[in-house]
Structure 1
Amino acid sequence: MMPNQYFINPLIFAIDILFSCYILAVMLRLFLQWVRTDFHNPVAQFLITITQPTLRPLRRYIPPIGNIDTACITLLLILALVKLAIIASLTFGIPSLFTLLMASIGDLIGIGFKILEIAIIFRAVLSWVMPNSYNPALIPLYYLTNPTLEYIRNFIPLVSGIDLSPIIALFGLEMLSMFIDPLFPHFI
């Protein structure tokens, strides 16, 4: 017999937040590996410290494929599957494995888009508040956002000294997210 809805919604909220925070840390680590950031940075060291205990055992059995950290991707998928299986079981029952897998992939894609969007917003705000400042904790932010913003800057030059690439990147990411999101089932 399931507890009443009064207790289920806060429980779902807590499970979603806890899993999503750890998924965020693992995904940030993966993104920073892809953009080849300096891992001597304090932020990168923090991500390594909190993700290493779960990644170390997976790396014994799942080798990387070229530059792709398959252990990290596997961990992300496992975390998303477990999160959505728990949430689904609390609300309406566990769906099929295929539905769970598709929902997990959609959830991870959504989190990836949000990471990039928030990083771009954060970088744009920092460029207004602290232009030309150096902070070692911000270096991963620049590594993370540079590929997207530099690509856009190749097509859209500065307009009267104003860089429009963050606005265009956010617009593009949100549009892409709107096209991709409906392709996946959702439990939350």
Structure 2
Amino acid sequence: MGIMQSIGVLLTFVLQIYFWMILIRVLMSWINPDPYNPIVQFLVRATDPVLEPCRRILPPIGGLDLSPMLALFAVSMLSNVIRGLFSGGDVGGTMFALGLQLLGFVHIALTLYMLLLLARGGVNIYLWMRYRQGRASMLDLRQPLNRFLFQATEPVTRRLRGFTPTVFGLDITPIVAALLTVLLLTLLEGLMNGGAAVAMGSGGGMGHMSY
């Protein structure tokens, strides 16, 4: 093993440890650990330099902090870049693989968001049916789950609401937004399948890429 490969292995190992540190901090946040514990303090000090910029890029939605997902993905991508560059592999192939991984990450995020939009559409239908029956039909935003669902989907549905007519008083903008998301997912799947076909057809270092 050459010097460059040894450096690559070392950097990759360090990034893998850092990946697990972020993941452990996320898991610990679910159990409210003792903030004065030395291990907890070390994890906070070690991971904040990455998590804080990620929080500015991806602020909390409905009280849910999604920045660790962005941080974990960034560390994983950086690890793959270093592994590809220092192993003497094809730089173009490495960047192509990262592009496919990024598309895969966006695909997963859009799929989750589509499910949220469908859930918001289901809530709208439920409230609309209660309204038609003459019963209370207000969304209780004091409930954390309702508040998260509203805050996560409202930025998109608000923009579509001016162009989407109601159906007998039913707000169908979440369903329309979900359908548009399906179109984006279909486009992404086409790009990913095309990229995978190119990778498989090129053989060599790119033949083993996955996303």
Q: With structure 2 as the length reference, what TM-score do the two structures score? A: 0.49
The equivalent residue for 1:49 is 29
Structure 1 outlier segments of 4+, above 6 Å: 52-56, 80-83
Q: Provide the alpha-carbon RMSD of the alignment.
A: 3.9
Map of 2:201 onto structure 1? none
Unaligned runs of 5+ in 2: 1-22, 33-39, 60-66, 81-91, 128-136, 197-209
| 1:163 alignment partner, one of 153, 157, 171 | 171
> Where does residue 56 of structure 2 map in the other structure?
67
| Structure 2 residue aligned with 1:37 | none
Is the 8 Å Cα contact of residues 77 and 104 (structure 1) preserved in structure 2? no
- Trace 1:39-118 onto structure 2 (pairs within 5 A): 49=29, 57-60=46-49, 64=53, 67-69=56-58, 72=68, 73-79=70-76, 96-118=93-115
Matches within 5 A, 1:9-48: none
Q: Is it true that 1:177 corresponds to 2:177 in the alignment?
A: no
SS at match of 1:159: coil
Deviation at 1:120, TM superposition (A): 0.9
CA displacement 1:74-132 (0-9 Å, x = unmatched): 4223347889xxxxxxxxxxx94223311210111001111110001112222334542
Higher RCO by CA contacts (8 Å cutoff, separation 6 or greater):
1
- Measured after TM superposition, the shift of residue 69 of structure 1 is 4.7
Q: TM-score, normalised by structure 1?
A: 0.54
Structure number with greater Rg is 2
Q: Distance in 1 between matches of 2:139 and 2:55?
A: 36
Number of corresponding residues: 132
Q: Which of the numbers 110, 114, 119 marks the counterpart of 2:116? A: 119
1:101 maps to a residue whose letter is L
Aligned to 1:29: none
